[in-house]
Amino acid sequence: QKEVEQNSGPLSVPEGAIASLNCTYSDRVSQSFFWYRQYSGKSPELIMSIYSNGDKEDGRFTAQLNKASQYVSLLIRDSQPSDSATYLCAVRKSGGSNYKLTFGKGTLLTVNP
């Protein structure tokens, strides 16, 4: 079982719609969860972090975490063409102090004007 799984997409949504990106993880004791955006040929850019069950909102972005289901999602409201990118889910496992991140392969999002 892969440690962090994401649907590779592509996920295509019209401009102004809500994009929903999903991620599941295998290690039940994972503690911290992050969403990064990566444009083609560029580095990961942190969008959201979430540590507790429930929703966390930041502007047009909402991260949702359900530790019982080992599931984390990212909603992008009012999607814009500039949101077209690959979205990476990253997980920090428990234990230790180095906090390395384990990434999924990413979901390619295309927002059509």
Partner 1 sequence: EPEVTQTPSHQVTQMGQEVILRCVPISNHLYFYWYRQILGQKVEFLVSFYNNEISEKSEIFDDQFSVERPDGSNFTLKIRSTKLEDSAMYFCASRAGQGGAYEQYFGPGTRLTVT
Interface with partner 1 by CB under 8 A: which residues?
A: 32, 34, 36, 42-46, 49, 51, 88, 90, 92, 96-106
Nearer to partner 1, 80 or 94 (CB): 94
Number of other residues whose CB lies within 10 A of the CB of residue 5: 16
Nearer to partner 1, 65 or 106 (CB): 106
Check: CB of residue 4 under 8 Å from CB of residue 23.
Answer: yes
Report the distance separating Cα 14 and Cα 109, nearest Å: 11
Enumerate helices (H) and strands (E) in the chain, giving the number of each: 0, 11
Q: C-beta of 84: minimal distance to partner 1 in Å?
A: 18
Q: C-beta of 57: minimal distance to partner 1 in Å?
A: 17
Nearer to partner 1, 33 or 79 (CB): 33
Report the distance separating Cα 100 and Cα 50, nearest Å: 16
Q: C-beta of 34: minimal distance to partner 1 in Å?
A: 7
